[in-house]
Chains A and B, each alone.
Chain A
């Protein structure tokens, strides 16, 4: 058989091969984007990190002890994956949308980016995973030991007892090797996506190796040893586990526990959510991963049954996979089995160490480090290297913890028992996690209460008894004789399987505390914001939440980002943001959107809570400490909510102000008009009044020739007439404008109206061209008012036509609907810039006020025509002044006759 040295050599060669795979995949991913590395198959295979040495060796051991019960560990995950549409899809979407780096990050993100929650989950995960890591070390060590002696079981046991130092040395070197491998590939780069293509590809290769190895051993056992399927079934039926006698409570409890574990285990979360690159992979994994689980558990019971039948009594069933081929002297198969077990163990340790180190580093080490630097992120050194270093140290520490646990328990406990203790521990995250996905009412305090309760009950009822921390007396009679608090029969409920008991009480009390505290406490604004964005992740279109607190200096942000992401990546990001903001060069403005995006990017490297605190700091917070982290998060959240309210309010105010401003402008304009009107009136009235006063004064002096007196009284008379006319006009206009005018509608002939107007004007010097035929139109109108309009137009022409021989042309165009009368003179017309104002009151195109008009004529005409159903326009572009009077002929006006 192969010696110990040979197997060590094979193991080393295998590790070198994995290195090569990981290295190649990393390089490929960097160069070409690694399309196939992100395919659904690598993803599904990487999920098999669920199947650890516990599966590879422990499942057979479990089957040898309790028959089919081992299946529950795979049925739970199968159900979860079959129901991916319920939970996993949402989990993965949230993981992407929020740039989640670990399960602690996800839970803390949901509960207001709370550092307290993050730290709790991290501690829980580390404590829960340590026994599991030690389990892997134990199984690898055992498998080495198997090769170091003969197949003789007695000798192996002897070796384990007598040569403890050598065995421990093996365990130690295995730990060191695993730590180095993990550090090399898990912390090579600090990617914002937190993806490790190299590691994941290596894990996928290991997944294939362990599946092939187990199936090869199984096939060998079924067809090579027992001689076929029927014979194997016979052997099973006659084995000690041949009769189906499950404990229903354990069966249900374990199925539940494994279903919870596949979601909550830090390493599963790492491969399932963090390393995942495309949601559609889940669709493939939904059947492919259950298929993998089925394949890997297919031969477990046959191997156990045949091992029990063939191998000598007292042989460790946890090692049947290895010892059966050795017993049958199939060295190559034993070696393959060894590699399968080795793969299972190493892949678990590597992924778990990466996942845990991310949590420890992001949620414990970095906040502490930040707190220890008074100046904080802006003035400190290179955060990037600190983050990497802290991860490396964390990995080493986590593997070391596993080794210490192994040494403490002396590798004595049965493999499957340790695994279940771990499962129950990490399952405590379940209530808070499920509520994060589905319940907006969950609060941070509730999550903390649930986690603490669950953790305490789990430790008391399961972990501490498992590591032998309690005396037999304590287990039987309870602490200080308090039977009600017996660790394995809480509150006097005896008769439950100790594991089921622990699951029931820890998860039950955890959930109860979580729900009750959530119901009675009130969430902070940030919690509510996050709760909504988690629960409604599928409805979300874009990050609508805004960072509108103080203005962060972009340069400071850039400096900080460079330290975290590296100079090139940070600059690229900022440049892209600047381009998006429409800038061709320079830095982007620290808009809420940009800061928000930046925070998410940074959250990918250092976790949500830390990123939030760091940006908050640059945003105006003076310094940050672990204690401050919460406060910072809460304050920013409140600021966020208040400022959005303020924004809303100020927007409303602005709108109101704008409306007020508009109204004011209108009023001002009106008042200006009114002022102008009044001053015009007073001016118009003052002029005749002044002449009347001065000439009457002359008259009072007396002693003047009769001729002069007659002239002066004539002037006074004329001015009085002008004054009266002005007042009449004003009155007329007011009446017209207010619509109080009384119209006397009756049939009239246009010719008569114009005749009357011409006669009334009495402008002898103005030659008038008429259109006798066109004027023979009869229509309904108020003859007096219409004549007034014509008088206005004709007298205007008489007054303002500046031609040498003034001439006015009156042209008529009549149709069924309207009559158009044009008054066109041969003067210079109205200057272009005055065209628009000539219809206004007191408007005059020229300063020929001497003509004795106050400038109300056209305004009155316009009002009259408006009352009579017509309009008057000035027609530009003619030689002289041209006015067009349009009269609309309506059926109504005829009917009114």
Chain B
């Protein structure tokens, strides 16, 4: 998982794509859990003074975090991206391995 850069084998590319789809499918479940967390963990008996400001920050942080992941996933998933994938050399000799991570 170190380098999400250019795949060396096409097979690995396909494998990665499957896992990306898995991730995309799991993302809303993660989101649901995070969005419901503050509500479900609330102690109804004793209202513990939780400020709206704090929750505001929590929700928007989670929201932004989810969007960021969705952004990364969508770049992998966009069908035209995957449609173009076979054009690149399956065995990356000609183009060399992925550039070293900076």
Contact = CB atoms under 8 A, between A and B. Distances in A.
Interface centre among A71, A82, A286 (most CB of B within 10 A): A82
A290 B63 contact: yes
A317 B23 CA distance: 41
Given A82-B27, A290-B70, A248 B78 contact: no
Nearest to B32: A79
B38 interface: yes
B84 to A, nearest CB: 11
A251 B37 CA distance: 11
B95 interface: no
B55 interface: yes
A82 B51 contact: no
Nearest to A245: B47
B80 A287 contact: no
B9 interface: no
Interface stretch (A207-215, A261-269, A276-284, A821-829): A276-284
A325 B40 CA distance: 38
A75 interface: yes
Contacts of A251: 36, 39
Nearest to A293: B63
A294 B67 CA distance: 9
A280 to B, nearest CB: 5
Interface string B28-62: 11011001101110101001011111111001100
Interface in A214-244: 233-234, 236-237, 239, 241-244
Nearest to A284: B74
A248 B25 contact: no
A79 B35 contact: yes
Interface in B54-89: 54-56, 59-60, 63-64, 66-68, 70-71, 73-75, 77-80
Contacts of B74: 283-284, 286-287
Nearest to B75: A283
Given A68-B59, A86-B25, A298-B60, A283 B67 contact: no
A95 interface: no
Given A245-B47, A283-B79, A294 B64 contact: yes
Given A82-B70, A294-B63, A280 B53 contact: no
A255 B37 CA distance: 13
Contacts of B35: 75, 79, 255
Nearest to A305: B52
Interface in A787-844: none
A244 B52 contact: yes
Contacts of A78: 31, 63, 66-67
Nearest to B56: A301
A20 B32 CA distance: 42
Contacts of A470: none
Contact-residue size bin, chain B (C-beta under 8 Å from the other chain) = 35 or more
Given A85-B21, A283-B78, A287-B70, A244 B40 contact: no
Contacts of B36: 251-252, 255
Contact of A85 (B40, B47, B60, B77): B77
A68 B56 contact: yes
Contacts of B80: 280
Contacts of A236: 51-53, 56
Given A82-B31, A286-B70, A246 B51 contact: no
Nearest to B72: A287
B24 interface: yes
A286 B68 CA distance: 11
A710 interface: no
A239 B52 CA distance: 10
B85 to A, nearest CB: 14
A237 B52 CA distance: 6
A154 B44 CA distance: 39
Contact of B25 (A85, A234, A291): A85
Nearest to B80: A280
Nearest to A279: B79
A283 B70 CA distance: 9
B27 to A, nearest CB: 5
Interface string A77-110: 0111111111000000000000000000000000
A81 B42 CA distance: 27
B42 A246 contact: yes
A81 B66 CA distance: 11
Contacts of B32: 79
Contacts of B67: 78, 287, 290-291, 294
A71 B38 contact: no
A244 B38 contact: yes
Given A78-B31, A252-B39, A244 B54 contact: yes
A298 B63 CA distance: 11
Contacts of A487: none
A128 interface: no
Nearest to A233: B53
A68 B55 contact: yes
30 contacts: A75-B63, A78-B31, A79-B28, A81-B70, A82-B66, A83-B24, A83-B27, A83-B28, A83-B29, A85-B25, A86-B28, A233-B56, A236-B52, A236-B53, A236-B56, A237-B51, A241-B52, A242-B52, A242-B53, A243-B49, A243-B50, A244-B55, A245-B47, A251-B36, A251-B39, A252-B36, A286-B24, A287-B67, A294-B63, A294-B64
Given A79-B35, A246-B42, A290-B63, 19 more contacts: A71-B59, A80-B28, A83-B28, A83-B29, A86-B25, A236-B53, A239-B52, A241-B52, A242-B53, A243-B49, A248-B39, A251-B39, A255-B35, A280-B79, A283-B74, A283-B75, A283-B78, A286-B73, A287-B71
10 smallest A-B Cβ distances: which pairs?
A83-B28, A287-B70, A283-B78, A244-B50, A287-B71, A233-B53, A283-B74, A85-B24, A82-B28, A251-B39
